[in-house]
């Protein structure tokens, strides 16, 4: 499989679908555009800033997901406890 980033064709090995690879490439291209308006000046610093930006977004999403999962778990436990109490069941 190949992916095109910043005008370069890169061979990659992945279990992801071509659709997912293309979506990831579009995201990286978008971030490159946000950080560097001059596409001819794609140096290591710009690429590192893109990587840092994407990592930051990933970590925020991961934290939000964990917080949401914790809320769902707590709420589920509360509902189950209330149902057990209502129907006289032991937990």
Give mean pLDDT, residues 23-28.
92
Does the pTM of the predicted model rise above 0.85?
no
In this predicted structure, the answer to whether residue 82 has a pLDDT above a threshold of 80 is: yes
pLDDT band, very low/low/confident/very high, at 38 (cuts 50, 70, 90): low
Give mean pLDDT, residues 68-75.
98
In this predicted structure, the answer to whether residue 59 has a pLDDT above a threshold of 90 is: yes
Taking Cα atoms as reference points, which of 32, 11, 31 lies closest to residue 21? Answer: 11
In this predicted structure, the answer to whether residue 91 has a pLDDT above a threshold of 70 is: no
DSSP string, 1-63: -EEEETTEEEE---SS-HHHHHHHHHHHHHHHHHH-S-TT---HHHHHHHHHHHHHHHHHHHH
């Amino acid at each position: 499989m190949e992916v095109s980033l910043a005008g370069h064709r890169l061979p990659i090995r992945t279990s992801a679908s071509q659709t997912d690879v293309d979506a990831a490439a579009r995201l990286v291209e978008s971030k490159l555009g946000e950080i560097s308006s001059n596409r001819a000046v794609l140096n290591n610093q710009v690429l590192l800033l893109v990587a840092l930006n994407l990592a930051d977004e990933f970590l925020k999403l991961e934290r939000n997901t964990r917080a949401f999962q914790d809320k769902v778990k707590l709420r589920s436990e509360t509902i189950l406890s209330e149902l057990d109490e209502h129907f006289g069941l032991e937990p």
